[in-house]
Chain A
Amino acid sequence: MIVLGLQAYISFALIVFALVPLGRLSMAGRAMVFLIVLALGIVPLPGGLSLAGYLRGFTDDLAITTLVWLAAAAIARLGYLPAWPLATRRQLWIGFALAALVLYPAALGIGMIDTYRWGFVPRGLIVAAGLLTLLLVLLRNGLGVSMLIAATAAFILDLKPSDNFWDYLLDPILAIYAIVALARDLIIRLRRRRSNGSAMVARN
């Protein structure tokens, strides 16, 4: 059996639990599903690697922010917390989509400026993340504050194999989710505005 870090097992359980349809299952039933998913990720397959290890081959180690968001989603699905308000989520979609735009194109080799480098010499990025967290405190965005404080605390404790602060703050899964959710939200708002406009014209 190939033993993985705790993070790999938790990541697997949270990702799969976020995707499994739960229907009208009771809170206890949902908790049971979570435990089954967690166990599924730990059990070694032939060859010694578990499903959590195979998933890690595709996702690498998730950012701490992603883990906190997935954990918050899992707690909400288990029924211990209400779903986060749309405004809270929208602020985070905007923040992480913007961060993805800053990070990924430059890291892909477009131009000589490598923004990923900022995470190796991270004081500037720490200040930026701190200011963003302060803004989220003032916006009463508890989820965002938890994500950024947990990511930075994990960076202090060196909990991930990466030496780069970006890898605690953002990963492609979070970036894609934020961009897709933001795009979907924009489309819904535009459609609503258009249908409201049509209704106003009809009323007049």
Chain B
Amino acid sequence: MALITDLNRWQKWALPTLVIVFTLAWIQHPDYEMSNFSTDLIVSAEQSSSVDKTPVFEERFASSDLDEFVHSPSITALPDGGLMSVWFAGSREGAADVDIRSARYDAETGQWGSEKVLVTREMTRQAVGKPIRKLGNPVIALAPDQRLWLFYVSVSIGGWAGSAINVMVSEDLGATWSEPHQLVTTPFVNISTLVRTTPVFHVDGSIGLPVYHEFLGKFPEYLYLDSNGHIEDKFRIADGTNSLQPTVVPLDEKRAIALLRYAGDEGHVLATMTEDAGQTWQEEWAVAPWNPNSSLSAVRTDEGSLLVAQNNLIDGRFRLSLDKATSNLSSWSVVAHLDASPDPLGNPIPRLEYEPIMKQKFISSSGTERKGLLTGFMGLLDYRVCRSDMCDFEYEYPSLIRASDGRYHLVYAWNNSFIKHVTFNTAWLESQP
């Protein structure tokens, strides 16, 4: 090793350059202070009861296209009382023709408008400058600064494990959108980070985006973005190979619960908790409901309990329930079965018996605007839910939010064919046996 007095010419130049460059880098990247959870959306009991004293429970389809397989919806409330929902649609999950669709709910008319294509594979390819094989899992959320954020995954190589997260932002509540760009979230050529569940916001407008990995391990993380969508930090919620798709529910400024999809063969919903606004998480533990390796979604209620939309089943996704849990997750109760197969075990039903049941379910679910799609839908059963004249019911991938007026909005994939939207209020919750 050279002594300082023995340095040659380039070394004498390198030393001050080194000091300048690394000092500048150090000054330019100060540590940040993590902001507390925003509690603005934790609606008080007085606020919600003043809006609705009579029980409200409404169902309708948000999507309007008959031809596509639909999956993985997400919903957000808009400032005018309306809603916007996004999902992915195509000939099948993972197909090259899958695109991201959106629709808007008009609070005055109480109807969903026609669905629109929001993002395509080609659009993403053009913007990120990489081959894109498929798109999936869009998530939409309105930030406190009234900017609308859209996150979705795209795959350049391999299957879903090769996913990267793309982000778009709208400054005008969804009328126009920025070009997508990719968040760089892993050191492995930026593959294997997915998004599925709704972000939460912090007091300073920063965004807490629950994400997960499914490359060699299956584990959730909490991505902390500043209010402009740049990654500030990343925190591991759990490690290992058995948990995905965290749904994060802030309880107060510092505490939040994350419920995790169980990614094994047979198991229960996993839960974990943070007491420092998402920086550290307790070791995950299994809670009472079963989870058949399916997505779930939760929000906080007036009295501080959790409302969870999930497939509380050992296997299959033939029943979607709304369950209530105390904030320590020790006690669970069923509020309602929102949609369910008439067969308690979810066994396939012969087509002759199935068709009248499905017709009735369609009529009660569709809302007036989409009722006319019944005949077309019944003609497509073989593509969606029936095999060899035996048919299934599938209700999956719920996304549950609470609007500032206190009403709850839930969207989920209804028999692979429609995105169903359910609205209810606290009075309805209290009226359930």
**A19 at interface, CB cutoff 8 A:** no
User: A126 — which chain B residues lie within 8 A by C-beta?
Assistant: 22, 25-26, 29
- From A5, which residue of chain B is reached at the shortest CB distance? B129
User: What string of 1s and 0s marks CB contacts (under 8 Å) between A160-183 and chain B?
Assistant: 111111110011100000000000
Given the complex of chains A and B, what is the CA–CA distance between A113 and B281 in angstroms? 12
Q: Which residues of B contact A15 (CB under 8 A)?
A: none
Bound complex: CA A140 to CA B187 (Å): 29
Contacts A57-B131, A160-B184 known; 16 new A-B pairs at CB < 8 A: A2-B129, A57-B156, A109-B218, A109-B239, A112-B236, A112-B238, A112-B239, A113-B236, A122-B29, A129-B22, A130-B22, A139-B1, A139-B2, A142-B14, A149-B18, A172-B187
Which residues of B lie under 8 Å from residue A4 when comparing CB positions? 129
With the chains together, A61 CA to B102 CA distance in Å?
31
Inter-subunit contact B236/A156 (CB<8 Å): no
Given A117-B233, A126-B25, A161-B182: A2 touches B126 (CB 8 Å cut-off): yes
Query: Could you tell me which residues of chain B, from 22 to 46, have a CB within 8 Å of some CB in chain A?
Result: 22, 24-26, 28-32
Residues 224-261 of chain B: 1 if any A CB is under 8 Å from the residue's CB, otherwise 0? 00000011111110111100000000000000000000
A residues in contact with B187, CB < 8 Å: 103-104, 107, 116, 119, 164, 166-167, 170-172
Q: Does B371 lie at the interface of the complex (its beta carbon under 8 Å from any beta carbon of A)? A: no
A54 interface hit (Cβ, 8 Å): yes
Q: Which residues of B, 74-113, contact A by the 8 Å Cβ criterion?
A: none
Within B106-149, the residues touching A (CB, 8 Å) are 125-126, 129-131
Contact of B184 among A5, A59, A149, A163 (CB under 8 A): A163
Cross-chain contact B184 with A167 (CB below 8 angstroms)? yes
Contact of A142 among B10, B28, B181, B241 (CB under 8 A): B10
Count B-side interface residues using an 8 Å CB cutoff: 54
20 contacts between A and B (CB under 8 A): A5-B129, A56-B129, A60-B184, A114-B221, A114-B235, A121-B233, A123-B29, A126-B25, A137-B11, A137-B18, A138-B1, A139-B2, A140-B2, A142-B14, A149-B14, A149-B21, A156-B24, A162-B184, A164-B187, A164-B231
Q: Tell me the complex Cα distance, A41–B216, Å.
A: 32
Report chain B residues within 8 Å CB of A58: 156-157, 189
Binary per-residue interface labels of chain A (97-121) against chain B in the complex, 1 for a CB within 8 Å, 0 otherwise: 0000001100111111110110111
B residues lining the A interface (CB < 8 Å): 1-2, 7-8, 10-11, 14-15, 17-18, 21-22, 24-26, 28-32, 125-126, 129-131, 156-157, 181-182, 184, 186-191, 213, 215-219, 221, 230-236, 238-241
A132 to B211, CA, bound (A): 33
- The winner among B8, B31, B129 for most chain A CB atoms within 10 A is B129
Complex partner residue of B131 from A53, A116, A161, CB under 8 angstroms? A53
Q: Is the CB of B22 within 8 A of A109?
A: no
**B188 interface neighbour in A104, A117, A130, A162, Cβ under 8 Å:** A104
Q: Which residue of A lies closest to B10 (CB)?
A: A142
* Contact indicator A111/B239 (Cβ below 8 Å): yes
The CA-CA distance from A152 to B24 in the complex, in Å, is 9
Are B130 and A57 closer than 8 Å at their CB atoms?
A: yes
Kindly list chain A residues whose C-beta atoms are within 8 Å of the C-beta of B218. Answer: 109
* B2 surroundings in chain A (CB, below 8 A): 138-140
